[in-house]
Amino acid sequence: MSTVHLAGTFGTVREPVDADFAYFGETIRVNPDANDLSFMDLMEKARGIDLAGLDPDDPSTWNPAVIGVAQDAGNAAMDTIREQIHPDDWGLFFTTAKRNRQTIVDLMATSQQLSEMVTELVAGNGFPTGRSSDSTAGRSSTGQKSKGGSSSREQRVQRDTTQALRVLRGRPDLQAGVLRAEQARLAG
């Protein structure tokens, strides 16, 4: 069997991001390589979390494996934030966050805002001035993609998403990531 070479070139050439933002009186530069793939990577990692049988309200159900998964989730969230901040400004950003009593939820909200703004910027739309009046802050309802109903794979994905949201109760930062992954999956 021989390999077939597909003609043409693939991918979109993008210039490095040249942007900064105000953060509690400091100016923080955005990582020149920042993009929304950081969130996609976070969602991919979140998909691999299997906490079947875990009761998030009952710590007695937690075991070393579950605790390890929770630590991995926290590390993935911090990696996502770090990938959006200029490496030379990470220390200033994180020190400023701690000085202003920010939580991981606060940092994930900042990360989400940066992701949205950088996506608009690299798409050539410039920085948005805010959410347009006809857009919503939440997930919109989507209809089924086929008339035949959901496939077993679709049902499994919906069940896994619902379970992940339940398990991550009290962690809106991680729940937002689960929802973003589901939106990307539905859009794709």
With tokens 């929802």, the residue in question is: 179
pLDDT score, position 141: 39
Q: What is the pLDDT of residue 60?
A: 74
pTM over 0.75: no
pLDDT at 93: 97
Q: Pick from 71, 34, 27, 28: which is nearest to 49 by CA?
A: 71
In this predicted structure, what is the pLDDT of residue 117?
87
Low-confidence stretches of the chain (pLDDT beneath 50) = 127-149
The kind and range of the H/E element at 23 are strand 20-23
Domain spans of the chain, in order of start: 20-127+150-187
pLDDT at 161: 67
Tens of pLDDT, residue by residue over 53-67, are: 566 677 777 777 767
- The pLDDT value recorded for residue 1 is 80
What is the rounded distance in angstroms from the CA atom of residue 179 to the CA atom of residue 50? 17
Distance CA(145)–CA(150), nearest Å, equals 8
pLDDT digits (tens, 9 = 90+) for 132-142: 334 333 333 34
Alpha-carbon gap, residue 84 to 118, rounded angstroms? 9
